[in-house]
Chain A
Amino acid sequence: MDALKIQNVTKTYNNGVVALKNTTLTIPAGDFFALLGPNGAGKTTLIGIASGLVNKTSGSVEVFGYDTDKQTEMAKTQIGLVGQEINFNPFEKPIDIVVNQGGYYGIPRDVAIPRAETLLKDLGLGEKMNDKAMALSGGMKRRLMIARALIHKPKFLILDEPTAGVDVELRRGMWDYLKRLTTDGVTILLTTHYLEEAEQLAKHVAIIRKGEIVANGTMDEILALGKDTYTAGDFNGGRLEQVFIELTK
């Protein structure tokens, strides 16, 4: 069973920008998958189409076998999304943000409240759950978004640059949490500009450039693409960064 199956998806925005060109991508269930690409490559558009926030121009998308056009509700139920931008009401309390999100998935408050409390505590927000969300630091806001995305126990978690602007210590804490999720069977799709993060976490990698997948395979397969250019000892940001630069320049 594939967690995500994108076939021949094209997206042309109203202003004529072609963000995705006949893109095909498959993510196996249980995988930790990194989707990498420079700014404007089409990563967020692809994620938006998979999660129902962006209308595709053509092609098909399946989430755990559910067609996002024909079985929209079931497809959406499988996904938890942590978007790139902070997108919650800053005047609300973290506990309310997470519990309300559960409500939109049909989870009643008596079930959602204890579940939200556990998630927030697990993500280090236990003492902040009744403060206003605007009072949280950048890293805390990111973790709140992860808690919100997990309230309905999705099988597939999509994270669009979740560690952007997060300090090293918190970032490592988030990595550990994400690793635990994959151990529990959650499929993860991660986009990030921290390539060492992707190298540490992901089993499979795809690199997207100008709306086209230019490389797709296991981490070892992708790293193997850059062997010739990698020189140990020099400052080069790591092997994945070398490959990334080669494929996207």
Chain B
Amino acid sequence: MTPYQLWTSFYTMLRKDVVRMFRIWVQTFLPSVITSTLYFVVFGTVLGSRIGTMGGVKYMEFVVPGLVMLAIVTTSYANTSFTFFSSKFFARSIDEILVSPTPPWLMIAGFVSGGIVRGVLVGSIVLAVSLFFTGLGISIHSLLIMLGFAVLTSLVFALAGLVNGIYAKSIDGINIVPTFILTPLVYLGGVFYSVHSLPAAWQPVVYINPIFYLINGFRYGFMGVADIPIAVSLAVLAALVVLLVGINWYLIRTGLGLKQ
């Protein structure tokens, strides 16, 4: 395929997914607004007023980057895992791409880009909701770092969701990972607290959680302070991207979970 044909194929996959997510916006965007509103009410307003400050800022402001990141992680993951799984399992419409000359790496790019778009859009919506609860009191230290981590996080979890979507053999298969692995990692990754507030014995456990590095970098973009240097966060993210791209490429290239 020529570069223009490759672009056309990529654009087709992305456009199809974006059209789908806007067509069913009640399912794709609204739940994050409701969930984040509840979090802001419970953790920010009710409990936050008793906690006071964390990391040198009001608890409500501290928790905003974590909640935005929570929304990005869950939606970008869910988007690719469900989109890929449903096209493989329900209508078998994945055959439309498998019979075409679209190469495996472009398939990965097409599906993952949809996850990135949804992750960043939902993150932006949650951020907009947070402005209401913080009284427009959010300061942004570096817009570039904030946006960069938002996109990178969407990329990592869209890639992880794609691995799940390829491997899953039933609808339960795409629910198990978010329920039993992703959610605990997110909650233990520092959404609601600073790693320094944990007992010393628990702090090393946090460092083996990849989500800690994402939230750390993202929070630095807002507040200019981080638990660890953001270069470390970027390195962990880059390693995850390389690893997950490799796994996805191998799975699609060999047809594991796709071709018999």
Contacts and interface: CB of A to CB of B under 8 A. Distances in A.
Interface of A: 13-14, 48, 51-55, 72-74, 76-77, 79, 81, 83, 85-90, 96-97, 100-101, 103-108, 148
Contacts of A77: 101
A105 B101 contact: yes
Interface string B57-84: 0000000000000000000000000000
Nearest to A107: B8
B9 interface: yes
A48 B260 contact: yes
Interface string B202-231: 000000000000000000000000000000
Contact of A53 (B13, B16, B93, B99): B99
Given A88-B93, A100-B16, A106 B9 contact: yes
Nearest to A74: B101
Nearest to B94: A87
29 contacts: A14-B260, A48-B259, A48-B260, A51-B99, A52-B259, A73-B103, A76-B100, A76-B101, A85-B92, A87-B95, A88-B96, A89-B87, A89-B93, A90-B91, A100-B12, A100-B96, A101-B96, A103-B8, A103-B13, A104-B12, A104-B96, A104-B97, A104-B101, A104-B102, A106-B1, A106-B101, A107-B8, A108-B8, A148-B96
A54 B260 contact: yes
A83 B95 contact: yes
Contacts of A103: 8-9, 11-13, 15
B2 interface: yes
Contacts of B255: 55
A106 B91 contact: no
Interface residues of B, number: 29
A105 B96 contact: no
B5 interface: yes
Interface string B1-21: 110111011011101100000
B100 A105 contact: yes
A85 B91 CA distance: 9
B182 interface: no
B105 to A, nearest CB: 12
A73 to B, nearest CB: 4
A83 B95 CA distance: 9
Given A104-B102, A107-B5, 8 more contacts: A48-B260, A55-B255, A86-B91, A87-B95, A96-B16, A103-B15, A104-B12, A106-B9
A87 B5 contact: no
Interface in B217-260: 254-255, 259-260
Interface of B: 1-2, 4-6, 8-9, 11-13, 15-16, 87, 91-93, 95-103, 254-255, 259-260
A178 to B, nearest CB: 19
A132 B231 CA distance: 49
A88 B11 CA distance: 19
B12 A53 contact: no
Nearest to A88: B93
A101 B95 contact: no
A100 B5 CA distance: 13
Nearest to B260: A54
A13 B96 CA distance: 22
B101 A54 contact: no
B94 to A, nearest CB: 8
B79 to A, nearest CB: 16
A73 B101 contact: yes
A1 B169 CA distance: 41
B207 to A, nearest CB: 40
Contacts of B91: 86-90
A222 B234 CA distance: 67
Contacts of B87: 89
Contacts of B101: 72-74, 76-77, 104-106
B95 A54 contact: no
Contacts of A85: 92
B8 A53 contact: no
A74 B100 CA distance: 10
A87 B100 contact: no
B96 A52 contact: no
A88 B100 CA distance: 14
Contact of A101 (B1, B100, B254): B100
Contacts of A107: 5, 8
A149 B255 CA distance: 22
Contacts of A97: 96
A55 B95 contact: no
Contacts of B2: 106
A107 B100 CA distance: 11
